[in-house]
């Protein structure tokens, strides 16, 4: 295990340094991405090893800086996240080997690869850190490296603004995390996580609640919970696609890790019911608003970014439900909620990274992110299309895919709220379940749009017409994640025991025997009688039903000649202008949720001079109001700028005035001290 850890660190470090030692882009490319991939492979082994280890692996390197110890600890929770990060890291590195050719000449490939290695290393260290100070340092390194990666193409319009926005939000979040750790450190006198989780040094009641909120805000800003999610739809599309995959797939998951670490580990699961309820409400809000805005987005990568907000919300639903059950001592249900949340975490990492890689492939082939300009790509890019379809079906939570299993488990844990003792929660949890159901339906519409309008029908732009399939390395990277998605969906009997090892130390009970009935072929929270589902059987049934239909059709067709002809277009030749557009597709939903979207539609027409029955040309504008940005962030920005404008008065630009400020401050301070 220590060897694996050393290999992992060495790979990432070499990958960080070596590419900068040569100047040939192709060599830089292979060096950087092969070491990142090797590090990812080592990380997968390390994660699995950590999950099965009897004792957590600990490592500690003291330093000269006070309070700082470079302490690492690989317990099951950390191991699970190392596994997730490394899986996506491996796929993204292989993918990047092909993808960075896009950047040759414009951006230093060596630097990009080196930063990728640093980013992967810092994420791995974040979940391994066992010292608050060390955690904050690697957390900050992770944030800064991701910022640098976001602004890779800083010469493109909007990218720098996106980077700056991200930087501000992430630093505000870090400030709250620092506050959380300081509260603990003040009470325990040490920054080591060992001291934080020590039962003798518990925080006083009031401070506990403050720490709860600071942790929720601090980690929430990184995870992208509503209303702190505003940076995601700017930063994720701006970054190169394999970086977006890492940011959306795993970086925001380090925040989920942080929340679980603080709530279940440091607080040892000792919290009032309203903590769990707050997390649950935030999750429900994020899930619903995330998917609603994702639906309206026509930029494929922004759509995926909003969808990440939705999925973080779903993960928090599982964790929140787990927290509520834990408060009332229903440990098995708590373990179920937490397990469902973690299951969705790794699922989302796999399919969201896959979809971002797919979006990157479309960008690579067509050089646009606008869904309106795609169309007909399935025929031109069959491999990308298949992988994207697997990702889209998984994220839309259609059976028998991975998204379905985890969302189903979250539903089950919400329904089991009947066992709670208070009426309020008994009423609220089913309402949350209803919100989750609405989210699921809208998510399905969203990805039907994302896949259908991109890949089906005829190309709507010349770029899409001339698109060709992407290089092999990119296909392998996507294929790896597509396989993982399928495996996570079809084999819950392999995944649940692993997750149970993570939740068992946190909740004190192991539930994998109960959840997996009939030798693991059936997933059944609590009892088989209440509800149960078997993914392999479901998959077999679906495939079987399809096969049966085909067989019947073939049987009935016997004797009749097959006739091949063009699609009927009412007598006219089919053109792309007849297609359903992305705007048209979501129009009904826009109408239904008018209150939230507040759409404005503007139609400008210019008529011929001779007759107004003939239109020379017309323009159609349709926009929706970003409510949260407008009513929550805009006032803050305006107030800040206003204050800065007023403070400008003392910044007159006169040297003498500045000297006078210094002089007066000096004299007054001296007098005050004297």
Partner 1 sequence: MSESTQLGSQLVDLCSVLLLLSCFAIVAQRRLSACVDLFALQSFFLATTAALVAFLTGHRHIYVAAVLTVVIKVIVLPRILRKVIERLNVSRELVMNINIPAGLLICGGLVVVAFFITQPIIPLGYLLTRDSLALALAIILIGLFTMIARKKAVTQMVGFLVMENGVFLGTTAAAYGMPLIVELGVFFDVLVAGLIAGIYTHRLQDAFDSVDTSELTVLKE
Q: Which is nearer to partner 1, 518 or 659 (CB)?
A: 659
Q: Which is nearer to partner 1, 620 or 663 (CB)?
A: 663
| CA pair distance 656, 642, nearest whole angstrom | 26
183-191 contacts at long range (C-beta below 8 A, 24 or more positions apart): 183/207, 183/210, 183/211, 183/214, 184/132, 184/211, 184/266, 185/67, 185/132, 190/67, 191/67, 191/68, 191/69, 191/131, 191/132, 191/133, 191/134
Q: Which is nearer to partner 1, 418 or 671 (CB)?
A: 671
Q: How far is the CB of 664 from partner 1 (least distance, A)?
A: 10
The rounded Cα 260 to chain-centroid distance in angstroms is 16
Q: Which is nearer to partner 1, 610 or 654 (CB)?
A: 654
Contacts of 286 (CB under 8 A, 6+ apart): 224, 225, 226, 229, 309, 310, 312, 313, 316
Q: How far is the CB of 151 from partner 1 (least distance, A)?
A: 25
How many binding residues for partner 1 (CB under 8 A)?
16
* Contacting partner 1 within 613-672 (CB under 8 A): 651-656, 659-660, 662-663, 666-667, 670-671
- The site map against partner 1 for 195-214 (x = CB under 8 A) is --------------------
Q: Which is nearer to partner 1, 550 or 659 (CB)?
A: 659
Q: How far is the CB of 160 from partner 1 (least distance, A)?
A: 20
Decide: 604 and 619 in contact? Cβ < 8 Å.
yes
Q: How far is the CB of 670 from partner 1 (least distance, A)?
A: 5
Q: Which is nearer to partner 1, 553 or 662 (CB)?
A: 662
- By the 10 Å C-beta count (0-12 exposed, 13-18 middle, 19+ buried), 326 is classed as buried
DSSP H or E stretch at residue 499 = helix 492-507
Q: How far is the CB of 164 from partner 1 (least distance, A)?
A: 20
The rounded Cα 381 to chain-centroid distance in angstroms is 25
Does 572 engage in binding with partner 1 (CB under 8 A)?
no
Q: Which is nearer to partner 1, 64 or 654 (CB)?
A: 654
Q: How far is the CB of 636 from partner 1 (least distance, A)?
A: 24
Quote the crossing angle between the two packed helices 159-188 and 205-223, to the nearest 10°.
160
Q: How far is the CB of 659 from partner 1 (least distance, A)?
A: 5
Q: For tokens 């890779």, name the residue.
A: 152
Q: How far is the CB of 668 from partner 1 (least distance, A)?
A: 10
| DSSP helix/strand/coil, 112 | helix
Among residues 105, 199, 206, 674, the one that binds partner 1 under rule CB under 8 A: 674
Decide: 256 and 312 in contact? Cβ < 8 Å.
yes
* Contacting partner 1 within 431-490 (CB under 8 A): none
SS3 content of the chain, % helix, strand, coil (to 5): 75, 5, 20
* Contacting partner 1 within 254-293 (CB under 8 A): none
Q: Which is nearer to partner 1, 562 or 655 (CB)?
A: 655
Residue ranges binding partner 1 (CB under 8 A): 651-656, 659-660, 662-663, 666-667, 670-671, 673-674
């Amino acid at each position: 295990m220590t060897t694996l850890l050393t290999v992992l660190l060495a790979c990432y470090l070499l990958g960080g340094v070596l590419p900068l030692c040569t100047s040939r882009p192709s060599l830089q490319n292979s060096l950087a991405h092969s070491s990142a991939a090797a590090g990812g492979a080592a990380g997968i082994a390390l994660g699995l090893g950590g999950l099965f280890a009897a004792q957590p692996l600990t490592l500690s390197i003291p330093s000269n800086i006070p309070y700082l110890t470079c302490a690492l600890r690989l317990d099951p929770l950390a191991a699970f996240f190392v596994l997730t990060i490394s899986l996506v890291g491996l796929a993204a590195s292989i993918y990047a080997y092909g993808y960075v050719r896009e950047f040759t000449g414009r951006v230093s490939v060596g630097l990009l690869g080196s930063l990728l290695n640093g980013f992967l290393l810092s994420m791995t260290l974040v979940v391994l850190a066992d010292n608050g100070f060390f955690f904050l340092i690697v957390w900050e390194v992770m944030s800064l490296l991701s910022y640098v990666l976001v602004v890779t193409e800083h010469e493109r319009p909007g990218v720098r603004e996106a980077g700056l926005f991200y930087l501000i939000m992430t630093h505000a979040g870090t400030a709250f995390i620092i506050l959380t750790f300081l509260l603990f450190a003040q009470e325990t006198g040490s920054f080591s996580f060992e001291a934080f989780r020590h039962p003798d040094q518990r925080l006083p009641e009031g401070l506990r609640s403050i720490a709860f909120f600071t942790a929720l805000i601090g980690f929430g800003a990184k995870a992208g919970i509503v209303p702190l999610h505003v940076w995601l739809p700017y930063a994720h599309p701006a970054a190169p696609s394999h970086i977006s995959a890492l940011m959306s797939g795993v970086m925001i998951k380090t925040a989920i890790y942080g929340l679980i670490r603080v709530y279940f580990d440091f607080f040892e699961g000792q919290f009032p019911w309203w903590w769990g309820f707050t997390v649950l409400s935030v999750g429900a809000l994020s899930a619903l608003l995330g998917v609603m805005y994702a639906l309206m987005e026509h930029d494929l990568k922004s759509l995926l970014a909003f969808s990440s907000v939705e999925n973080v919300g779903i993960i928090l639903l599982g964790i929140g439900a787990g927290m509520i059950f834990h408060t009332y001592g229903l440990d098995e249900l708590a373990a179920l909620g937490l397990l469902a949340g973690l299951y969705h975490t790794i699922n989302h990492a796999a399919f969201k990274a896959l979809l971002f890689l797919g979006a990157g492939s479309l960008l690579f082939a067509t050089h646009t992110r606008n869904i309106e300009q795609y169309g007909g790509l399935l025929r031109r890019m069959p491999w990308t299309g298949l992988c994207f379809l697997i990702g889209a079906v998984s994220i839309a939570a259609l059976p028998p895919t991975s998204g379905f299993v985890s969302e189903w488990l979250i539903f089950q844990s919400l329904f089991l709220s009947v066992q709670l003792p208070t009426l309020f929660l008994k009423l609220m949890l089913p309402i949350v379940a209803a919100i989750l159901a609405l989210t699921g339906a809208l998510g399905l519409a969203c990805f039907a749009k994302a896949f259908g309008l991109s890949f089906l029908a005829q190309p709507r732009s010349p770029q899409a017409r001339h698109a060709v399939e992407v290089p092999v390395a990119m296909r392998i990277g996507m294929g790896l994640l597509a396989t993982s998605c399928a495996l996570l969906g079809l084999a819950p009997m392999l995944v649940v025991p692993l997750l149970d090892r993570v939740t068992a130390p946190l909740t004190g009970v192991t539930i994998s025997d109960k959840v997996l009935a009939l030798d693991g072929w059936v997933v059944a929270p609590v009892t088989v009688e209440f509800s149960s589902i078997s993914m392999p059987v479901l998959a077999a049934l679906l495939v079987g039903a399809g096969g049966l239909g085909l067989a019947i059709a073939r049987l009935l067709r016997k004797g009749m000649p097959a006739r091949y002809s063009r699609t009927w277009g009412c007598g006219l030749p089919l053109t792309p202008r007849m297609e359903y557009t992305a705007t048209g597709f979501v129009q009904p939903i826009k109408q239904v949720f008018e209150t939230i979207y507040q759409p404005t539609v503007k139609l400008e027409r210019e008529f011929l001079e001779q007759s107004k029955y003939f239109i020379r040309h017309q323009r159609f504008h349709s926009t929706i109001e970003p409510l949260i940005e407008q009513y929550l962030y805009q006032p803050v920005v305006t107030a800040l700028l206003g204050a800065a404008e007023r403070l400008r008065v003392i910044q007159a630009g006169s040297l003498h005035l500045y000297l006078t400020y210094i002089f007066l401050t000096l004299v007054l301070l001296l007098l005050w001290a004297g």
